[in-house]
Amino acid sequence: MSDQNKDYSTGEPRHHHEFYIEDGNIAIQVQNAIFKVHHYHLAQRSSVLNEIFRTPQYQGCQDGTDAKPLVLSGDTAVGWEALLGSIYGTKNFRPDNLMTDVQLIVLLRVAHKYCMESIEAELLSHFQICKDKTSFFKLLDAARIVGSETLEKKAIGVLIPFKLSLTVGEAIRLGTEAFYEIIMSSNQNTTSSDEICTCGRSLSTYCFPCTKWHRVIRS
């Protein structure tokens, strides 16, 4: 199948190139992708999907057959590709060695929407292992997806030392309030130009156990 045919945001509804499993017992349409998988895997992981499968609508006009697939509105095919990849790709779900962070973010959106608590917890744990500015932004994205003010504040806090290296795109991604908070906190905490590296990052270290930045004392 060509890459164009793998773009399920366009075209006619069609079988997914990987997750249309012949012995599956439920057909699901997301955008223009028709997935056919095993009912049990989804019902076991999601109380929301388990409830959907029990509703009269599912049992009637959208019964999950090839002729009448269950249509899930508002989702993306790439999100479901990530979900099904996590289910069928490995025996045990491990974010660290499954996908890129971009794929994990779209998976988190699906997991949160359908109350897949164990998958969501694994993903949030993964995103809290921050090593650089890029991973801090991924944590911010994850916090906003699940609506966690605690994680969002943590992500914003650890981005403070990167004040001078923030790009316009990153500032937009932060949003006005968060960007203002970073700028003001940085101004209050920075006492001299000697505390700023030439790359724009404050000379400090982050302690993950106590989730705080500690200023480096220069001799």
Q: Where are the domains of the chain?
A: 1-127, 129-219
Give the separation between CA 137 and CA 142, rounded to whole angstroms.
Answer: 9
Q: What is the mean pLDDT of residues 22-33?
A: 95
| 3-state secondary structure labels for all residues of the chain | CCCCCCCCCCCCCEEEEEEECCCCCEEEEECCEEEEECHHHHHHHCHHHHHHHHCHHHHCCCCCCCCCCEECCCCCHHHHHHHHHHHHCCCCCCHHHCCCHHHHHHHHHHHHHCCCHHHHHHHHHHHCCCCCHHHHHHHHHHHHHHCCHHHHHHHHHHHHHHHHHCCHHHHHHHCHHHHHHHHHHHHHHCCCHHHECCCCCECEEEECCCCEEEECCCC
Q: What is the chain's mean pLDDT, rounded?
A: 83
Strand 14-20 versus strand 33-37 pairing type = parallel
Least confident of 42-51, 60-69, 160-169, 190-199: 190-199
Is pLDDT at 82 greater than 50 in this prediction? Answer: yes
Q: What is the pTM of this model?
A: 0.77
Is pLDDT at 19 greater than 90 in this prediction? Answer: yes
| Confidence label for 54 from pLDDT (cuts 50, 70 and 90) | confident
Q: What is the pLDDT of residues 85-123, one digit of tens each?
A: 989 875 456 666 657 888 899 999 999 999 999 999 999
Q: What is the pLDDT of residues 146-157, one digit of tens each?
A: 999 999 999 998
| Domain 1-127 of CATH type 3.30.710.10 | yes
